[in-house]
């Protein structure tokens, strides 16, 4: 239903009291008028959008709320219908820039923190999903990473303030790997900086320390610092072998991965023949893990061969 002049005047007066900035008033007035076109029960279900950045993955929205994906799709269609969202494909809904901040103003501090915590939990799950997709549907992983970039970078900053260093390094390393080939140097630097800062307080050898040192090798290779990358790859493998396959849950997989890192570094240095030894060792270790039921290792067997 079209808003009357009196309704708009009343709305602008109320917004002036809450938001003295003229530009903010105008943006929020447009959002409020659009939201008033929705049924109250539909509008109430949009609250989780308050904590998303730029857009929302419909599956993450579903995970956060425990709502069926089909219902979430209907809500997304309603948001699009009133001009507050755009379907970007790949299950991603781009949001009107003013919508999340406006919805956030309607929530008390407790509700905001609850939603942010749920959002962070499910965004971490999305990071793991994207990592898996790099082996299965690389194009989908690439496009979703691009679409989710504002959420991913905000997630890392949130985790840095809230979670244990091991968790932050783990997620930041995975995000770095997702960003590495996307041609987004500024975004990659943000993820790398967070990982490097948090890694400084890690304790004894662990998966988090492995991932931190592993991503450091990748950044050295990207910069063309080949001797430094080779030294780092040697140290990484030495740490893994000294700790042994029982050091932590994925230690055996990481030993195989460390062999791959050393082989790749040698190949970058132009010593393809010497690279064959660690790469062959990596392939055999990945194959043994694959034979025992490790699906991730199975994906890595052809990588080591290639």
**Domain limits at 299?**
203-306
pLDDT (0 to 100) of residue 13? 54
pLDDT (0 to 100) of residue 124? 97
Residue 25 CB: number of other CB atoms within 10 A?
Answer: 19
Q: Kindly state whether residues 303 and 208 are assigned to the same domain.
A: yes
Across the range 301-306, mean pLDDT stands at 78
Q: Kindly state whether residues 116 and 153 are assigned to the same domain.
A: yes
pLDDT (0 to 100) of residue 120? 98
Which among 250, 263, 260 is positioned nearest to 296, based on CA atoms?
250
Q: Kindly state whether residues 190 and 235 are assigned to the same domain.
A: no
pLDDT (0 to 100) of residue 48? 97
pLDDT digits (tens, 9 = 90+) for 179-221: 998 999 999 999 999 999 999 999 889 999 999 999 999 999 9
Give how many domains the chain has, as a whole number: 3
Q: Kindly state whether residues 30 and 113 are assigned to the same domain.
A: no
Q: Kindly state whether residues 100 and 44 are assigned to the same domain.
A: yes
Return the CATH number at 227.
1.25.40.10
Which among 150, 108, 156, 152 is positioned nearest to 130, based on CA atoms?
152
pLDDT digits (tens, 9 = 90+) for 108-156: 999 999 999 999 999 999 999 999 998 889 999 999 999 999 999 999 9
Beta-carbon contacts of 203 under 8 Å, excluding residues fewer than 6 positions away, are: none
Q: Kindly state whether residues 188 and 232 are assigned to the same domain.
A: no
Alpha carbon separation from 12 to 33, 105, 231 (Å, rounded):
11, 16, 63
Which residue, 73, 105, 137, sits at the end of a domain? 105
> pTM for this one?
0.84
pLDDT (0 to 100) of residue 29? 87
Return the CATH number at 25.
1.10.10
Q: What are the percentages of helix, strand and coil residues in the chain, rounded to 5?
A: 75, 5, 20
Helix axes 149-162, 165-179, angle to 10 degrees: 160
pLDDT (0 to 100) of residue 223? 92
pLDDT (0 to 100) of residue 295? 85
Place of tokens 């990473």: 145
Q: Kindly state whether residues 194 and 133 are assigned to the same domain.
A: yes
Q: Kindly state whether residues 14 and 75 are assigned to the same domain.
A: yes
| Mean of per-residue pLDDT scores for the chain | 91
Q: Kindly state whether residues 282 and 248 are assigned to the same domain.
A: yes
For the cut 80, the answer to whether the pLDDT of residue 75 exceeds it is yes
pLDDT (0 to 100) of residue 1? 44
Q: Kindly state whether residues 166 and 97 are assigned to the same domain.
A: no
Q: Kindly state whether residues 19 and 32 are assigned to the same domain.
A: yes
For the cut 90, the answer to whether the pLDDT of residue 306 exceeds it is no
pLDDT digits (tens, 9 = 90+) for 154-171: 999 999 999 999 999 999
Alpha-carbon torsion (51, 147, 208, 295), positive or negative: positive
Which residue, 147, 176, 202, sits at the end of a domain? 202
Which residue, 66, 88, 105, sits at the end of a domain? 105
pLDDT (0 to 100) of residue 26? 74
pLDDT band at 21 (very low <50, low <70, confident <90, very high): low
Least confident interval from 97-111, 255-269, 286-300: 286-300
The rounded percent of the chain whose pLDDT value lies above 90 is: 82
Q: Kindly state whether residues 159 and 210 are assigned to the same domain.
A: no
């Amino acid at each position: 239903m079209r808003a009357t002049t009196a309704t708009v005047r009343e709305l602008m007066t109320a917004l002036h009291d809450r938001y003295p900035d003229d530009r903010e008033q105008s943006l929020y007035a447009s959002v409020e008028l659009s939201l008033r076109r929705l049924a109250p029960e539909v509008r109430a279900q949009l609250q989780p959008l308050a904590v998303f950045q730029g857009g929302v993955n419909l599956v993450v929205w579903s995970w956060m709320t425990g709502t069926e994906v089909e219902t979430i799709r209907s809500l997304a269609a309603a948001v699009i219908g009133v001009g507050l969202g755009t379907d970007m494909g790949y299950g991603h809904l781009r949001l009107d820039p003013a919508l999340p901040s406006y919805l956030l103003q309607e929530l008390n501090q407790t509700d905001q923190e609850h939603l942010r915590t749920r959002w962070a939990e499910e965004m971490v799950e999305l990071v793991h999903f994207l990592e898996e997709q790099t082996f299965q549907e690389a194009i989908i992983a690439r496009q979703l990473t691009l679409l989710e970039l504002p959420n991913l970078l905000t997630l890392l900053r949130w985790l840095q303030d809230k979670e244990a260093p091991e968790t932050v390094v783990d997620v930041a390393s995975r995000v770095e790997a997702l960003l590495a080939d996307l041609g987004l140097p500024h975004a990659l630097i943000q993820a790398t900086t967070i990982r490097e800062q948090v890694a400084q307080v890690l304790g004894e050898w662990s998966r988090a320390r492995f991932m931190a040192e592993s991503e450091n090798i990748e950044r050295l290779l990207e910069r063309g610092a080949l001797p430094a990358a080779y030294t780092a790859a040697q140290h990484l493998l030495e740490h893994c072998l000294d700790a042994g396959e029982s050091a932590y849950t994925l230690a055996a997989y990481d030993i195989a991965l460390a062999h791959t890192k050393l082989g790749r570094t040698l190949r970058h240095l132009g010593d393809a023949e010497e690279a064959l030894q660690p790469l062959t060792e990596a392939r055999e270790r990945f194959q043994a893990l694959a034979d025992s039921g490790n699906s991730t290792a199975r994906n890595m067997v052809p990588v080591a061969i290639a």
